[in-house]
């Protein structure tokens, strides 16, 4: 058995057992990686850089993760699922109007960005366009969740138009692209913990959007 395969076997076993100390060190590596990806760029950051920040040699890092890509994927894989789940719950609420549902759903996006910073920054800044081109199972799952989220919002906009709550003279896809465009550009300037909260940003964006499309 080669040294590499032995480390891989030990890593798989440790992940299955899930000991607290092991899980904590792996989580630390994920946090360090996300920070370095943001500061230096994903492509420029080496696994050796992450190891040095964590006080480990490169060989030791392989006990916790198999690659730089694994660190990145671990940092974001559950976030899109949670966002989709919360958006689905909001869409199902009978006590909210269509505009209120739009406001709450995009507040979820901004809250997620703030809570998962800088992981989502890295995903949006450097990796989102690459994921769309990748045919790996992980990338396909990320795209499936992204499309589900987009489809939910498009359906919500269509229902808003049908109910007379939103104007009907603008194509639904254009409305959707405009709304997502505002939020997807936020990573270029918004840093959590500074002047504006995630809720203030979300409310301002949705207000700008809705006051252009709400009837009356």
On whether both 11 and 89 belong to a single domain, the answer is no
215 falls within a domain: no
Residue where a domain terminates, one of 66, 83, 108: 66
Nearest C-alpha neighbor of 30 from the set 2, 9, 57, 61: 61
On whether both 131 and 194 belong to a single domain, the answer is yes
What's the domain range around 53?
A: 3-66
What number is the average pLDDT over the span 171-193?
A: 93
- Reported as a pLDDT band with limits 50, 70 and 90, residue 69 is confident
- How far lies 41's CA from each of 27, 77, 90, 112, 115, in Å? 20, 19, 35, 21, 20
| Residue 186 DSSP symbol | G
How far is residue 210's CA from residue 179's CA, in Å, rounded to a whole number? Answer: 10
| Residue 214 DSSP symbol | B
- Reported as a pLDDT band with limits 50, 70 and 90, residue 142 is confident
How far is residue 207's CA from residue 203's CA, in Å, rounded to a whole number? Answer: 6
On whether both 115 and 173 belong to a single domain, the answer is yes
Cβ-contact 160, 179 below 8 angstroms: no
Q: Locate 132 and state its tokens.
A: 């769309």
Cβ-contact 187, 121 below 8 angstroms: yes
Q: Locate 156 and state its tokens.
A: 């919500």
On whether both 57 and 114 belong to a single domain, the answer is no
- Reported as a pLDDT band with limits 50, 70 and 90, residue 127 is low
How far is residue 162's CA from residue 160's CA, in Å, rounded to a whole number? Answer: 5
Query: Is the pLDDT assigned to residue 178 strictly greater than 80?
Result: yes
139: alpha, beta or left? (left if phi > 0; alpha if psi -120 to 50): alpha
What number is the average pLDDT over the span 53-71?
A: 88
More confident residue, 169 or 129: 169
**pLDDT at 156 (0 to 100):** 97
Q: For position 54, which CATH number holds?
A: 1.10.10.60
108 falls within a domain: yes
**pLDDT at 55 (0 to 100):** 93
Residue where a domain terminates, one of 49, 66, 83: 66
Residue where a domain terminates, one of 17, 34, 66: 66
- For residue 160, how many other CB atoms are within 10 A of its CB? 24
216 falls within a domain: no
- Reported as a pLDDT band with limits 50, 70 and 90, residue 137 is confident
Q: For position 131, which CATH number holds?
A: 1.10.357.10
**pLDDT at 120 (0 to 100):** 87
**pLDDT at 17 (0 to 100):** 67
On whether both 123 and 197 belong to a single domain, the answer is yes
On whether both 18 and 87 belong to a single domain, the answer is no
How far is residue 199's CA from residue 103's CA, in Å, rounded to a whole number? Answer: 10
**pLDDT at 47 (0 to 100):** 92
Total domains in the chain come to 2
How far is residue 131's CA from residue 138's CA, in Å, rounded to a whole number? Answer: 9
**pLDDT at 147 (0 to 100):** 93
**pLDDT at 4 (0 to 100):** 53
């Amino acid at each position: 058995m080669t040294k590499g395969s032995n480390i891989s076997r030990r890593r798989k076993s440790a992940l299955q057992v899930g000991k607290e100390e092991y899980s904590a060190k792996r989580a630390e590596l994920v946090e360090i990686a996300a920070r370095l990806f943001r500061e230096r760029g994903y492509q420029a950051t080496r696994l050796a850089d992450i190891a040095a920040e964590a006080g480990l040699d490169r060989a030791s890092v392989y006990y916790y993760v198999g690659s730089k890509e694994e660190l990145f994927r671990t940092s974001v894989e559950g976030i899109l699922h949670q966002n989709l789940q919360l958006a689905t719950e909001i869409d199902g609420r009978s006590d909210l109007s269509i505009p209120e549902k739009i406001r709450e759903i995009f507040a979820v996006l901004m809250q997620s960005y703030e809570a998962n910073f800088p992981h989502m920054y890295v995903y949006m800044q450097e990796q989102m366009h690459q994921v769309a081109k990748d045919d790996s199972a992980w990338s396909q799952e990320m795209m499936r969740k992204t499309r589900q989220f987009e489809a939910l919002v498009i359906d919500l906009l269509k229902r808003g138009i049908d109910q007379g709550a939103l104007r009907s003279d603008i194509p639904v896809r254009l409305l959707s692209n405009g709304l997502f465009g505002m939020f997807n550009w936020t990573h270029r300037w918004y840093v959590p913990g500074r002047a504006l909260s995630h809720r203030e940003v979300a409310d301002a964006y949705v207000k700008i959007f809705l006051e252009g499309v709400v009837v009356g």
